[in-house]
């Protein structure tokens, strides 16, 4: 059954693959408290009206409009119409956008956060053509390349940055290390040893290239693991322990700040989709 045809609130996600994750959801009222992602969030409203506050302004995305939310920008979400709303969203790691653009530049910032963008809607639709089955690697690569080019065209480009000022290889090493070691405590000494960069130089470069800090990225990897476990039906305490959190309450604080809902509510919504 196509999940967008359901009338009750639900969330359905797939496993993050190749730096890309897909989500489809439906809400009849309140959806998310203020939160932020370390990824780009690129979405398409399928029905109703999706209202949210972003960069100090109230926004509404109605049926057939698309949204582009920059990494690390606070936003919330709720229904903007009596019938609620349903939508598709893709979360894309910023380093993939940099790599796809083939240049050492600042991440493209799209000032038009909500627009009727037929080309972007078609790209998103194609990315969901086999959902929830895993995207094939070539499909994911093609989608990321197309979206990166689209964001660059729509973006408020700050211009290229000289290669000497952008230690992309070292940032990539730090990102890979954090992704592999998410379930333990990682220190600045660890990252200095892995990259050869001073911790503050690395922090500045990490944010310029990936749109977030090394710590936020690490927490994001823990949360992604915990969310996948809960979506599969694992208990909250077990998911927290397996994902590197000190305890369930520690996970809950970070989960709500990142996704705008509590782990318990997410587990219930994911269970509604499985049912």
| Domain total of the chain | 2
Asked if 86 and 220 sit in the same domain, the reply is no
129 and 202 assigned to the same domain: no
Give yes or no for residue 124 having a pLDDT over 60: yes
Over residues 19-56, the pLDDT tens digits come to: 899 999 999 999 999 999 989 999 999 999 999 999 99
Q: Which residues of 118-128 are buried (b: 16+ CB within 10 A; e: fewer)?
A: eebbebbeebb
Instruction: Please check whether residues 169 and 150 belong to one and the same domain.
Output: no
pLDDT digits (tens, 9 = 90+) for 248-262: 999 999 999 999 999
How do residues 161-195 score in pLDDT, each as one tens digit?
444 467 889 999 999 999 999 999 899 899 999 99
Last residue of a domain, one of 121, 154, 187: 154
For the chain, what is the mean pLDDT? 89
- Residue 158's pLDDT is 45
- At which of 119, 154, 189 does a domain end? 154
Give the pLDDT band (50/70/90) at residue 3.
very low
Partnered with residue 17 across adjacent β-strands are 20
Q: 166 and 145 in one domain?
A: no
The predicted model gives 100-106 an average pLDDT of: 68
Per-residue pLDDT at 103? 58
Report the C-alpha gap between 206 and 211 in whole angstroms: 7
Give yes or no: residues 197 and 243 share one domain.
yes
Q: Is the domain of 38 the same as that of 150?
A: yes
- Is the pLDDT at 268 greater than 50? The verdict is yes
Q: For the chain, how long is the longest CA-to-CA vector?
A: 55
Given 84, 119, 154, the domain boundary residue is 154
Q: Which domain holds residue 182?
A: 162-275
């Amino acid at each position: 059954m196509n999940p967008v045809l359901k009338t009750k609130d639900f969330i359905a996600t797939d496993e993050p693959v190749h730096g890309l994750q897909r989500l489809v959801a439906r809400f009849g009222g309140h959806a998310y408290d203020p939160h932020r992602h370390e990824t780009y969030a690129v979405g398409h409203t399928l029905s109703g009206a999706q209202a949210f506050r972003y960069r100090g302004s109230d926004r509404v995305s109605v049926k057939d409009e698309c949204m582009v939310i920059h990494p690390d920008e606070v936003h919330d979400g709720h229904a903007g119409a009596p019938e609620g709303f349903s939508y598709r969203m893709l979360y894309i790691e910023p380093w993939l956008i940099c790599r796809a653009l083939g240049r050492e530049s600042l991440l493209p910032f799209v000032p038009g956060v909500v627009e009727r963008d037929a080309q972007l809607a078609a790209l998103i639709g194609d990315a969901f053509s086999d959902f929830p089955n895993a995207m094939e690697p070539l499909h994911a690569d093609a989608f990321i390349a197309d979206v990166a080019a689209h964001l660059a065209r729509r973006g408020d480009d700050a211009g290229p940055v000289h290669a000497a000022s952008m230690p992309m290889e070292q940032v990539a090493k730090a990102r890979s290390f954090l992704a592999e070691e998410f379930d333990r405590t990682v220190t600045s000494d660890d990252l200095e040893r892995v990259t050869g960069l001073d911790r503050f130089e690395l922090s500045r470069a990490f944010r310029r290239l990936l749109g977030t800090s090394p710590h936020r990225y690490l927490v994001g990897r823990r949360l992604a693991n915990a969310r996948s476990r809960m979506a599969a039906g694992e208990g909250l305490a077990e998911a927290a322990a397996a994902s590197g959190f000190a305890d369930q309450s520690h996970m809950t604080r970070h989960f709500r700040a990142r996704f705008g809902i509590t782990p318990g509510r997410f587990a219930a919504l994911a269970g509604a989709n499985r049912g």
